Amino acid sequence: RKLLTGSVRFLAPYEVRQGQETVARLQGDLAARRQQLQPKKKFAFRALKKEAAPGSAPRPAEPAPPDPAAPDPGTGLAEGESGGPPLCGFSGAQDAELELGPAELLQRDVLLSELRGCRVRLRGNPNTLRVRDCSGCTVLCGPVSTSVLVDGCSDCLLALACQQLRTHRTRDCRVYVQVTSRAVIEACSEVSFAPYSWSYPGIERDFESSGLDRNSNNWNLVDDFDWLATDRPSPNWSLIPEQERIACWD
């Protein structure tokens, strides 16, 4: 990851993309290996079911226990994908103020999905962050150790600090970002960027635990995978003029 970060200024967009995909795959393999190495549950004997005597009536099957109640959207944990463990985050809330703190976020994988008109403050150091299918939202997040994915969002304001940023199927969003590699957009329009400026008590401690270098910020280096022309800038993204950037977030 450090090798890729130090080389992004000299690599072509395709090479950066290949490198980011390789890093993401290795991080996934590492997480899976850690899961395999966790202690297994202790073995316990179970009583064998007795077979019914010849001629006796079969015993009716016991009813299955009811499914547990689903968590209240917007207040509980976001569900993991593909039957995986639940993720930290919020899902399905509307016009709500949502917050998570350092103890809840530390090196967790965070998912924000299907939020409408919400203001989300994530004060802490997550491992990854996904913002999916959100509209009209403000998302303020502390330093993320690895990657951030913004997918299918519109009319959102985002403050993000991370090692990798990928934005997909997103339009009309403002992104205040600190990123140590090059940001990537794909199938996007009207996305604008400015340097990360959100702050909160304890953010320096979170930067230290994240491993991000505060002096390394490629906020204005963006690769548009849908724009191959080298002699003209992409019309799908822009830089927010300095006089229009947010100075006070409260």
Q: Which residue has the higher pLDDT, 75 or 104?
A: 104
Residue found by looking up tokens 């980011």 in the block: 20
Residue 149 has pLDDT above 70, yes or no: yes
- Weakest-pLDDT range from 8-22, 32-46, 131-145: 32-46
What is the spatial distance between Cα 215 and Cα 217, in angstroms, rounded to a whole number?
Answer: 6
Taking residues 180-208, what's their average pLDDT?
A: 97
Residue 243 has pLDDT above 50, yes or no: yes
76: number of CA atoms within 13 Å, CB side? 9
pLDDT band for position 67 (50/70/90)?
Answer: very low
- Check residue 228 and give its pLDDT: 86
Select 94-244's CATH number: 2.160.20.70, 3.90.1150.10, 3.20.20.150, 3.40.710.10.
Answer: 2.160.20.70
- Check residue 124 and give its pLDDT: 97
**Percentage of the chain exceeding pLDDT 70:** 67
Residue 240 has pLDDT above 90, yes or no: yes
How far is the CA of 132 from the CAs of 8, 187, 206, in angstroms?
26, 14, 24
Provide the pairing of β-strand 164-168 with 88-91. unpaired
Q: Which residues pair with 157 in a beta bridge?
A: 138, 174
What is the spatial distance between Cα 160 and Cα 145, in angstroms, rounded to a whole number?
Answer: 11
Q: Which pTM was predicted?
A: 0.69
Structure tokens at 204: 């320096």
Taking residues 201-227, what's their average pLDDT?
A: 95
What is the spatial distance between Cα 199 and Cα 250, in angstroms, rounded to a whole number?
Answer: 10
Mean pLDDT of the chain: 82
Taking residues 107-129, what's their average pLDDT?
A: 97
pLDDT band for position 137 (50/70/90)?
Answer: very high
pLDDT band for position 32 (50/70/90)?
Answer: low
